[in-house]
Amino acid sequence: MKVKVISVLEDNYMYLVIEESTRDAIAVDAAVPKRLLEIVRKEEVVLRAILTTHHHWDHARGNEELARLCPGLRVYGADERIGALTHKVTHEQELTFGAIRVRCLFTPCHTSGHMCYFMWEDGSPDAPALFSGDTLFVGGCGKFFEGTAEQMYINLTQILGALPKETKVFCGHECTVRNLKFALKVEPENEIVKNKLTWAKGGALAEVHGEDGPGGGAEDAPHREG
């Protein structure tokens, strides 16, 4: 399983997950269809499905155009407001795309229909991956547009917090530096936050994501809306 990280819009990430034996691919949060199809062609893969975390335009606005351009494309999500939705999924439902397995994890709060996607391949030495949309960021979480703090606490501690510790997290926005600056204002003596902020500012995110470094923005914002 190969994950291509694609930076789009102001600070969004969309992803192309490639099943390497078949060269089939799954997109996560296909916000900019033209850019996604450029990567699909470059990688010489066939786009089979889209997994959408939530209905906000900066995560789902490319669905209709992609469905038009790619006949038979499957679009998965948990909210009827998601454009071009063909398959509505539920909590802990499992999907299979060749060797790639996907577990759907329902995390309502940012929106009432937010779904995260946990992916792995049986027998692979590679760490599993979580596509967390606007539920979990590095150093923060999504705004509570359609839910409560209690819901987000359950999302982070009981649902996502129960995943294997080696899981790689692929979030929906780049706001690491902004989040950590806010955290340092709240807990100015927190050494873990200090070290993580130094890591992020030092270009580590560019290495992690392959091409895109940390985003900027308002220092007092703990999270980003979707």
> Which position among 55, 56, 114, 223 bears the catalytic label?
56
Query: Is residue 122 flagged as an active site residue?
Result: no
> Which position among 11, 54, 55, 223 bears the catalytic label?
54
Residue 219 in any domain: the answer is: no
Checking DSSP bridges between strand 136-137 and strand 129-133, what pairing results, if any? unpaired
Query: Is residue 55 flagged as an active site residue?
Result: no
Query: Is residue 209 flagged as an active site residue?
Result: no
Query: Is residue 87 flagged as an active site residue?
Result: no
Find the DSSP H helices in the chain. 33-43, 57-60, 63-69, 149-154, 176-186, 191-199, 205-209
> Which position among 55, 59, 114, 223 bears the catalytic label?
59
Find the DSSP H helices in 72-175. 149-154
Q: What CATH number is associated with residue 86?
A: 3.60.15.10
Residue 136 in any domain: the answer is: yes
Residue 224 in any domain: the answer is: no
Residue 214 in any domain: the answer is: no
Query: Is residue 134 flagged as an active site residue?
Result: yes
Range of the domain at 49: 2-209
pLDDT tens over the chain, length 226 residues: 999 999 999 899 999 999 999 999 999 999 999 999 999 999 999 999 999 999 999 999 999 999 999 999 999 999 999 999 999 999 999 999 999 999 999 999 999 999 999 999 999 999 999 999 999 999 999 999 999 999 999 999 999 999 999 999 999 999 999 999 999 999 999 999 999 999 888 865 655 554 433 333 222 223 333 3
Residue 204 in any domain: the answer is: yes
Helix (H) / strand (E) containing 96: strand 94-97
Residue 202 in any domain: the answer is: yes
| Domains of the chain: total | 1
Query: Is residue 110 flagged as an active site residue?
Result: yes
